[in-house]
Structure 1
């Protein structure tokens, strides 16, 4: 044991007097000092110093954060994420959301092919129809729930918290935000329903809408023939 102590002291003395050893990457760069600065943040471990902040376990850290949130020292995690996304928690003028805010949120959440159609005021429905495509059912539900969560933080007492229609479905979800009707589709369902053509061009120019009318007429004709066959025969 005594010999190990002597060896450590000798090694410490040599490390102070000998020049710094070259690292492997030094042979392949013209500026080793700059390379070391770039590689410094990549170190996985850090030497703990007594002067540093006390490390808490998971439960202690959770309790500390709850106390700080209640005292107002820090923002709750949900609100902090919204602030990080640069989204105002104040209610909009035309509704809880302005259409620009919805588009910003959908873009941040990686919504695909966002489309906005302005609805004529004489229809007395909503101000805008917003259509977006999700990559998967999980992605679709995540966008819907996140918008509903922000709605809850922005709304006033008189604003009714909206429901997510079709939350259990895998192809279509909708949220009535008051001034905005948001439709979240899978790729296949969006192509099938083609709401953009319906609201942008009108039903008279929408091929899908006219095709459905023809199919409905055909179904009624078949149903009438079926009823004729059920009539009792009178001789």
Structure 2
């Protein structure tokens, strides 16, 4: 990892768990933004979309159960009843799950990329776009 402090092994394990859970639940456009050394709120922010409120809600509940099983404490969850935008605060990893229209409206990726869009990394199921051809 270049530029800035690395996340703790516990944060890395939690981050891996989050990404795997979202992939298992067929999240769309999952990205991860490393925050270590940029803010004290968390080491990673993960943003993903579900195709419907029902899928967003289901992904959030399953992720919270997996985090509790691994970490031993329940993450804080906001927005579950409407499931347009669900925030899961798992400590070292903060997860935002959106319906696509809500995600595009708030555009958190742009806000948290710290002026470096390449800081947001794509998941294996969402590879980055190829660079433009000159």
TM-score (norm: length of structure 1):
0.43
Q: What RMSD in Å do the two structures reach over aligned CA positions?
A: 1.9
Q: Which runs of 5+ in 1 are unaligned?
A: 1-91, 203-235
Kept in 1: contact 2:65–2:74 (CA 8 A): no
Structure with bigger RCO (C-alpha 8 Å, 6+ apart): 2
Given candidates 101, 105, 120, the residue that maps to 1:192 is 105
Matching of residues 167-178 of structure 1 within 5 Å: 167-178=80-91
Greater strand share, structure number? 2
CA distance in 2, matches of 1:149, 1:97: 15
Deviation at residue 129 of structure 1 after TM alignment? 0.6
Larger Rg: 1
Deviation at residue 98 of structure 1 after TM alignment? 2.5
Secondary structure of 1:161 counterpart: coil
How many residue pairs get matched?
A: 108
Matched, 1:154 2:67: no
TM-score (norm: length of structure 2):
0.73
Matching of residues 98-137 of structure 1 within 5 Å: 98-137=14-53
Greater helix share, structure number? 1
Residue in structure 2 matched with residue 66 of structure 1 by the alignment: none
Deviation at residue 122 of structure 1 after TM alignment? 4.5
Deviation at residue 172 of structure 1 after TM alignment? 0.3
| 1:154-210 deviation digits (Å, cap 9, x = unpaired) | 224xxx4123200112410010011000000111111011111111134xxxxxxxx
Matching of residues 56-135 of structure 1 within 5 Å: 93-95=9-11, 97-135=13-51
Q: Which runs of 5+ in 2 are unaligned?
A: 1-7, 116-134
Kept in 2: contact 1:162–1:176 (CA 8 A): yes
| 1:198-223 deviation digits (Å, cap 9, x = unpaired) | 11134xxxxxxxxxxxxxxxxxxxxx
Kept in 2: contact 1:172–1:183 (CA 8 A): yes
Matching of residues 26-45 of structure 1 within 5 Å: none
Kept in 2: contact 1:132–1:185 (CA 8 A): yes
Secondary structure of 2:79 counterpart: coil
